[in-house]
Amino acid sequence: MRFVIAVLLAVMSVSGSAHAADIKAGEKVFKKCKACHVVDKEKNKTGPHLVGIIGRPAASVESYKKYSKALKESGFVWDAATLDGYLENPKKYLKGGKMAFAGLKKQKDRDNIIAYFESLQ
């Protein structure tokens, strides 16, 4: 019995954390990026499109010609960890980067927008 309860608690905490990030809220956070980024079409604006961003190597959109040298040489692959760092403070995370965005200071905003990107994969 004790084992069953332990398993139930473990399952509950796993599904609990899966719901901690909120995709709908992440879509709202993305409004801050829309001036420069499109995520549902391979269309570049001031910034490169973000289609398939999770798992994408940095600076790999060939139709986007304005990448900074810093991003091209970064060796980043965009996943939850690199996006979290970059979006918190783009200029600090990538010295010499060209993204003119102050950053998402709230952890929750970053978690939610990353969940939103993951939901689009």
Choose, by CB under 6 A, the member of 38, 44, 68, 88 that binds ligand HEC. 68
- Answer left, alpha or beta for residue 104, where phi above 0 means left and psi between -120 and 50 means alpha: beta
Stretch of 4-12, 15-23, 32-40 lying at the interface with ligand HEC (CB under 6 A)? 32-40
CA 34, CA 14: separation in Å to the nearest integer? Answer: 32
Q: Which stretch binds ligand HEC (CB under 6 A): 1-9, 10-18, 20-28, 55-63?
A: 55-63
Measured from the CB atom, the residue of 12 and 72 that comes closer to ligand HEC is: 72
The answer to whether the beta carbons of residues 98 and 66 sit under 8 Å apart is yes
Instruction: Report the alpha-carbon distance of residue 17 to residue 33 in Å, rounded.
Output: 26
- Tell which one of 73, 100, 105, 119 touches ligand HEC (CB under 6 A): 100
CB 26 within 8 A of CB 53: no
Q: Which residues bind ligand HEC (CB under 6 A)?
A: 32-33, 35-37, 46-48, 50, 53, 58-61, 67-68, 70-71, 78, 87, 97-101, 104, 113
